[in-house]
């Protein structure tokens, strides 16, 4: 791992993960789940193999767990968003010369004039939690 990715993960763990845990998520980086009587809400951070960015994938599953199409059963406590076919990617909206650009990737390889890029990206992620909550409440179930 490179130092910028390590720093991004540290910032996510320090800033974003505590907020997820406040609303009932458990797990360890990069996979988190919130198990309720009605469903399992899932969130996974997936980093760009070339560096400098990550995406957030979310999904819902039945509370009993999930059986893959090849017959493997995944227990609720082991389930991740990557195990499921139906998932949503949380998108990052950025401003660029008075235009809104939608991008799947949260980028931390961009230069900023002021502040800490890792903290800024974490703030962008936190702004997306309500969108994720809406999906977990009303979105597709695997």
With tokens 């389930």, the residue in question is 79
pLDDT per position as a tens digit, 60-116: 999 999 998 899 999 999 999 999 989 999 877 655 555 555 577 999 998 888 889
CA separation for the pair 100, 75 (Å, rounded): 40
- Break the chain into its structural domains and give their ranges: 3-138
User: pLDDT at position 53, please?
Assistant: 94
Helix (H) or strand (E) holding 101: strand 99-103
Q: What is the largest CA-CA distance in the chain?
A: 52
pLDDT per position as a tens digit, 11-69: 999 999 999 999 999 999 999 999 999 999 999 999 999 989 999 999 999 999 999 88
pTM of the entire structure?
0.89
What burial letters (b/e) apply to 94-114, b meaning 16+ CB within 10 Å? eeeeeeeeeeebbbbeeeeee
């Amino acid at each position: 791992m490179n130092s910028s990715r390590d720093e991004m993960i540290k910032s996510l763990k320090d800033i974003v993960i505590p907020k997820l845990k406040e609303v009932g998520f458990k797990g360890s980086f990069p996979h988190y789940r919130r198990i309720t009587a009605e469903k399992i809400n899932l969130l996974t951070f997936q980093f760009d193999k070339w560096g400098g960015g990550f995406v957030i994938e979310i999904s819902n599953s039945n509370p009993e767990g999930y059986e893959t199409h090849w017959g493997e059963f995944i227990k609720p406590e082991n389930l991740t968003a990557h195990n499921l076919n139906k998932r949503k990617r949380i998108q990052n909206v950025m401003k660029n010369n008075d235009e809104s650009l939608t991008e799947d990737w949260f980028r931390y390889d961009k230069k900023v004039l002021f502040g800490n890029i890792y903290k800024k990206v974490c703030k962008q992620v936190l702004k997306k939690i309500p969108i994720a909550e809406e999906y977990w409440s009303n979105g597709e179930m695997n």
